[in-house]
Each structure stands twice: as C-alpha cells, then as structure tokens.
Structure 1
C-alpha cells in the first residue's frame, strides 16, 4: 500500500462519524416481498433508511407488509408484479422510479418451489413453471434494474436470492437447485459486465429458513425440517430476518468492494 493510501485510510479510521442506517437515502426494490425473506427484507431495508418498493403477485400480502412498514415510521409502497412476465417486471421497476425518482438497490428474492422428488418425476409443465419464475424472473429483473440504475442513480447494487441447495447435488429439489445454480452464474456474469459502471451484483445462498415455502416443502416431505436441522452445525434453521440482514449488507455501501460473490448464509451447512 502506498504511503498516501495509508494516510487516507488512517484519516478514515480517525474520523468521528454519526451512525446511520445501512441503506439511508436509498431507493430499494424487493421482489417476492409479500411474505418470508422478501417481507423481512422490506421491513429491514425500511428500518435501515431506504424507501422501499415491494413487488409480488400477492396484492393483499403486499398491502399488509407495506402498511406495517408505514406504521413503524418507514417509507414504502407496493406494486403488483409477475416475475415470469417481462412487461410486468419492467412496469414494476419503472413504478419504483416514478414513485421515488431513481433506483439505487434491488433484492431479487421472488421464487417458487418445485414438488420434491426425483427429476424424472417432475412434469414438463412444472419444469416450465418454476423455470419461468426462478431463472427467467431474476434475468428479467436484472435487465430492468440495471437500466433503471444506469438511467437514474448511476451507481448501485443488486442482490439475487439463490440457495445453498444450488452448491451441490440436490436430489430432493433437483430442478430448483439447478435453476438457482444458473442464477449464481448470471450473478457472476452480471458482476463482471456492470462492475465498471459502478453496479455491484452479488447473491446470497440461504440454508434452511423458516418461511412459508419451507412449510410447503415440509407438507410434501414430512420430517425434512427436523432432518436438515439435525445436520446443521448451529443446530437450527434461520429466521427470515437473518437472511435479510446479509442482503442488506451486500446492498449497502459498507460492501462497496464486494461483487460477484455467492454468500452462504446457512449456519455452516456447507462448511
């Protein structure tokens, strides 16, 4: 490190600063924000100072979460969005810009689960359905978000929600895992493509998290929560808020030199 750089770092370390929220004065767009990790993220981002636009197909859930954020003193609005439909995704991102004048950060959380079981037992229609949401959806969202950030804030950050199930063989949810692994690849490619523009792109890979989606998995595969919890080094599943914290940090300026990362938030499950 040069002496000049050292002096700059010393100056930063010695400067008294006022604590602020991780996402102060940022406009944040969150997909799948009506429940689970997305709803937890929307609440957290607002507490951390962001103006948040919640997007999902579930209008009633979006309205409830938005009202909770406002009642707690945060700034939020919501917009319907079908992640499998390009026009719907573009319109939702455009709405965020219309509401707040720009887009700074986005969390592409929305996803759907497959019926568990061997891949040869998954009907083609189900493959097409989950592919449309879990891979086409993040791709469409990133396209719209990059365009909006580029045209307004100029610099920003995107986080995609992947899964620890994308990092190894996934015989129980094989297509879900494969699509999430494809999201990891898109994340890395986007990070390299847009880094010089000041747009960082990362992903988080949650482990077992207590959400409605996991409840659905438990109904189809009784005992799966207990089995996965028993294998976890921390001996428990995550709460949605714990996953949201990782996304908030990656979107914040405190992660300003982090891009192209797939951050495992899994209690050591893949250690």
Structure 2
C-alpha cells in the first residue's frame, strides 16, 4: 500500500473533506489520527475506517490552542513512533453570499485569522517532528483562483491567498529537511454544501458550469489525490499545487 506504515493527523477529520481524506489514507495503509472539536462526527468517521479494516484514533482538539496542538502531536509520535502526514481542513467560520461592501469587518476577518493561525500552529507542530525525522508531508486544502463575479466568498478568498503564501514559505523553509508541502485546489466540492443552505443547488450548478470537464470535484477525488500527494509516488513534488478542479481553475 502507498501509505503503509505512515501516521497521518487530520485536523477537522469529522467534516466532509476530512472524512474523505482520512478514509483514503486509511485505505492505503496509514494509521489515521482524527482531531476536531465535535466528538460525534469524529467517532463516526473513525468507526467507518475501523469497519473497513483500517486504524483510526480520535482526539478532541481546538486547532487554535497552541499547547493542545503541540501536545497532541507529541502524543501521536509517542503512540505511533512518527508523524508523517499533517493536513488541516477545519472550518474557518466564513460568511459567504454577502458582498464586501455590505459585510462587517469581523465577518470578513474571521476566516482569515482562523486559517492563518491554525495552519501556522498545526504545521509548526508537525514540522518539529518531521525535521527530526527528515521526512514528512504537509498538505494544505483550499487554494482558489481569481474572484468570480457574483460569487461572494467574503474573507474566505483572502484566507485562501494567505494559506498559499504560507505554503510557499513552508516549502522553502522545510525542503532541506526532506519535508514536502503541497496544496490541493478543488474549485469547490458540491457535496460539501449544507443541504439547508439557501441557494445550494444553484451554487452547485454554477460550480459544474465553471468546469471544462462538465463535472466538479467530488469527495472521492479529494481523498484519492490527497493519498497520492502524501505517498512516495509523489516524492519529487513540493512547493506546488495539485489542481483537481476539473478545469474550473486555470494554472498559469
């Protein structure tokens, strides 16, 4: 298996993206450590992994708490022997659908602050162990393209840009230790839209229409590409983005 013997931490492991990535990692042989603030979804994902023959552990964790993040990383290494993969896919508390001209500064800045703080803390905690190991993979999710007229992402657009800047910096600083840092860019995954979200159907249709392939990325796509990126099959890849947007986002 591509990830046999690897230990992966997924922050936000109870959510749609986190669940898909965790199950893909476990299917490929990794021991998965799911971290998040809500026990029910974490345990549900862990149980699905166990029923499929995989290994999963859960921990209640606030990714904005530096001490908790570092202690959890230490616990993972103590229990499993290494920390090989780290991915942060927590929710950012963003407000979408409101133009900047009508949005409060607090709503705009919340996802930016959350993304920057938690990417910093989780990547730093992983890097401490990966630098000693002289190996590891840090995955970032959510890079976006240019703003789309009529699609009001609020501060999430700025958060994505900040995350990409951090990924570039981490790649540069950690590469000499054998640590790879990559971003997955999806252009939006319709399956992650809340069913009760106003206009969810129209947004999902817009995601599909924006693609070149006539289909948007699925949760399975995200999980499969994340597993590849974390594996030794992608050993020469770092400081780069994996564009899984079906052509919605154009790399230049």
Fold shared per TM-score above 0.5:
yes
**Structure 1 stretches of 5 or more lacking a match?**
1-20
Asked if residue 207 in structure 1 is aligned to residue 207 in structure 2, the reply is: no
* 1:104 aligned residue (81, 84, 90): 84
1:46 aligns with 2:26: yes
> Does structure 1 retain, via aligned residues, the 8 Å contact 2:66–2:121?
yes
Deviation at 1:140, TM superposition (A): 1.1
| TM-score, scaled to structure 1 | 0.84
Question: Superposition pairs for residues 1-271 of structure 1, below 5 Å?
Answer: 21-116=1-96, 117-151=98-132, 153-163=133-143, 166-170=144-148, 172-212=152-192, 214-215=193-194, 218-219=197-198, 223-271=202-250
The alpha-carbon distance between structure 1 residues 131 and 231, as it changes in their structure 2 partners (threshold 3 A), is: closer
What TM-score, normalized to structure 2?
A: 0.90
CA separation of 1:127/1:218 partners in 2, compared to 1, >3 Å: closer, same or farther?
same
Tell me the secondary structure at the aligned position of residue 158 of structure 1: strand
Larger radius of gyration: 1
1:121, distance to aligned residue in structure 2 (A): 2.5
Measure the CA separation in 2 of the matches of 1:216 and 1:114: 17
Task: Check 1:217–1:246 CA distance in 2 against 1; reply closer, same or farther (3 A cut).
Answer: farther
Residue 47 of structure 1 deviates from its aligned partner by 0.7
Equivalent residues, number: 247
Unaligned regions of 5+ residues in structure 2, if any? none
Q: What CA RMSD, in Å, does the superposition of the two structures yield over aligned residues?
A: 1.9
Distance in 2 between the 1:139 and 1:167 partners? Answer: 22
Structure 2 residue matching 1:30: 3-state secondary structure: strand
1:33–1:109 CA contact under 8 A, matched in 2? yes
Alpha-carbon separation, structure 2, partners of 1:168 and 1:248: 27
Secondary structure, counterpart of 1:215 in structure 2: coil
Instruction: Write the deviation string for residues 172-196 of structure 1: whole angstroms up to 9, x where unpaired.
Output: 1041011111111111111111111
